[in-house]
């Protein structure tokens, strides 16, 4: 799971580096599910 998140972040950063103008909306759209996944991981880890 963590590897998948790292790979997604790496791909996003590479996209941003290659074509900053086009990748900005993609990165903005990808932040929402990323935050949701991180929140779910934190909640499952803490056990709330």
Q: 47 or 44, which is more confident? A: 44
Task: Provide the residue ranges of all domains of the chain, joining segments of one domain with +.
Answer: 2-46
Model's pTM, two decimal places? Answer: 0.38
- What would the two tokens of residue 3 be? 């590897």
Could you give the CA distance from residue 26 to residue 40 in angstroms, rounded to a whole number?
22
pLDDT of 45 higher than 70: yes
pLDDT attached to residue 18 = 64
pLDDT attached to residue 4 = 87
Could you give the CA distance from residue 32 to residue 26 in angstroms, rounded to a whole number?
11
3-state secondary structure of 19: coil
C-alpha distances in angstroms, 9 versus 12, 43, 46, 47?
Answer: 5, 21, 24, 26
> Count of residues for the chain?
48
Over the stretch 5-34, which tens digit does the pLDDT of each residue have?
888 888 877 766 666 566 677 777 788 888
């Amino acid at each position: 799971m963590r590897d998948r998140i790292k790979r997604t972040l790496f791909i996003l950063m590479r996209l941003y580096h290659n074509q900053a103008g086009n990748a900005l909306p993609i990165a903005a759209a990808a932040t929402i599910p990323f935050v949701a996944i991180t929140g779910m991981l934190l909640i499952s880890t803490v056990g709330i």
